[in-house]
């Protein structure tokens, strides 16, 4: 049986003091449950502090981005080995804000995916359509293109260490959530596509998260869908009670 995996993407929020408060709040409210995994993805500046606070917990640490080169003249960038050195196990790649605000293309995301996996980091690989693409009826072809390009040259074995997050762009930070049926339909499409590119076993064990305005009020219904294996949470991960509300809805 696939575990449910809840990850919090803090985006550009929380200084060190606020990081300590948020992580303490999450840790204090978390009850043991072997059927789910919790991940927090603070900004780079908080990773080391977060790792120290998470040491005795089962909460995983992730970063929100990384560069595909090992080192060099890349001002402002962070490498996979740097992330590993501060205790990261996960890294979010291909988030729609990286794609749409910072112009990251599928080819660059694929290079990052390969570097993360070859460095022993587990990517949370995000895909999703815009409102215009959904209204044009091109959702599946957009998702297929992002997945085929993003996963180019990635083996079935490497995919075991990858989480895919389906995040419709129109639902991110907007308060508009995909209905459980809309989300389930795309998740099922993704799993079938993975079976087609790889095999049934790989598809069957792949964790596919939903992301886009997940909150305690809608998480239970979303997480009960057969192909939704967790959530990537933005806004609601910034307050312990909301993040815990989502986690405890499993
Ligand atoms: C996200 O940024 O990945 C996200 C899903 O944000 P929100 O939950 O705020 O929509």
State residue 206's pLDDT score.
98
| Cα distances (angstroms) measured from residue 37 to each of 4, 124, 223 | 6, 13, 13
Residue 214 Cβ inside 6 Å of ligand 1? The answer reads yes
What average pLDDT score do residues 97-126 get?
Answer: 98
pLDDT at 183: 98
Tokens of 62: 């992730």
Could you tell me the distance, in angstroms and rounded to a whole number, from the CA of residue 25 to the centre of ligand 1? 20
Q: What percent of the chain has pLDDT over 90?
A: 96
- DSSP-based three-state secondary structure for 8: strand
How far is it, in rounded angstroms, from Cα 91 to Cα 128? Answer: 17
Q: HSE-up of 73 (CA within 13 Å, CB side)? A: 0
129 flagged as catalytic: no
Q: Looking at ligand 1, which residue's alpha carbon is closest to its atom 3?
A: 234
DSSP codes, 90-130: EEEES-HHHHHTS---HHHHHHHHHHHHHTT-EEEEEE---
Binding site membership of 94 for ligand 1 (Cβ less than 6 Å): no
Ligand 1 atom closest to Cα of residue 97: 2
Residue 231 confidence (pLDDT) above 90: yes
Q: If you count them, how many residues does the chain have? A: 250
pLDDT digits (tens, 9 = 90+) for 146-176: 999 999 999 999 999 999 999 999 999 898 8
Task: State pLDDT tens for residues 34-49.
Answer: 999 999 999 999 999 9
Q: What is the pTM of this model?
A: 0.97
Chain position carrying tokens 């599928």: 106
Q: At residue 98, does pLDDT exceed 90?
A: yes
Q: Whose C-alpha lies nearest to ligand 1, atom 8?
A: 234
In the residue annotation, 167 being an active-site residue is answered as yes
What pLDDT is recorded for position 201?
Answer: 97
Q: State the first-to-last Cα distance of the chain, in angstroms, to the nearest integer.
A: 14
Among the listed residues 67, 104, 167, 187, the single catalytic one is: 167
Separation CA 115–CA 124 (nearest Å): 13
- What pLDDT, on a 0 to 100 scale, did the predictor assign at position 56? 86
Strand positions, DSSP E, the chain = 4-9, 36-41, 59-63, 90-93, 122-127, 163-166, 207-211, 230-233
| Separation of CA 16 and ligand 1 centre (Å) | 22
pLDDT by residue (tens digit) across 117-143? 999 999 999 999 999 999 999 999 999
> What domains, with CATH codes, occur in the chain?
4-247 (3.20.20.70)
Our answer on whether the CB atom of 62 is closer than 6 Å to any ligand 1 atom is no
Distance 99 CA to ligand 1 centre (A): 14
Mean pLDDT score of the chain = 97
Provide the b/e sequence for 80-115 (b: ≥16 CB within 10 Å).
bebbbebebbbbbbbbbbbbeeeebebebbbbbbbb
Query: Is the pLDDT confidence value at 1 over 90?
Result: no
């Amino acid at each position: 049986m696939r575990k449910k995996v809840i990850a919090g993407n803090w985006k550009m929020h929380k200084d060190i003091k606020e990081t300590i408060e948020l992580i303490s709040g999450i840790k204090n409210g978390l009850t043991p449950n072997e059927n789910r995994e919790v991940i927090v993805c603070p900004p780079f500046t908080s990773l080391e502090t977060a790792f120290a606070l998470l040491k005795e917990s089962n909460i995983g640490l992730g970063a929100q981005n990384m560069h595909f080169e090992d080192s060099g003249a890349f001002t402002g960038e962070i490498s996979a080995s740097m992330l590993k050195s501060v205790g990261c196990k996960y890294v979010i790649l291909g988030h729609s804000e990286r794609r749409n605000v910072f112009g990251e293309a599928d080819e660059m995301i694929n290079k990052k995916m390969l570097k993360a996996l070859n460095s022993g980091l587990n990517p949370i690989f995000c895909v999703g359509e815009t409102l215009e693409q959904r209204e044009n009826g091109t959702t599946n072809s957009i998702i297929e293109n992002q997945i085929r390009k993003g996963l180019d040259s990635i083996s079935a074995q490497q995919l075991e260490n990858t989480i895919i997050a389906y995040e419709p762009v129109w639902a991110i930070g907007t308060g508009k959530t995909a209905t459980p049926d809309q989300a389930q339909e795309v998740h099922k499409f993704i799993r079938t596509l993975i079976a087609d590119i790889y095999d049934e076993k790989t598809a069957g064990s792949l964790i596919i998260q939903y992301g886009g305005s997940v909150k305690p009020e809608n998480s239970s219904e979303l997480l009960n869908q057969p192909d939704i294996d967790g959530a990537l949470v933005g806004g609601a991960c910034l307050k312990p009670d909301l993040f815990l509300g989502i986690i405890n809805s499993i």
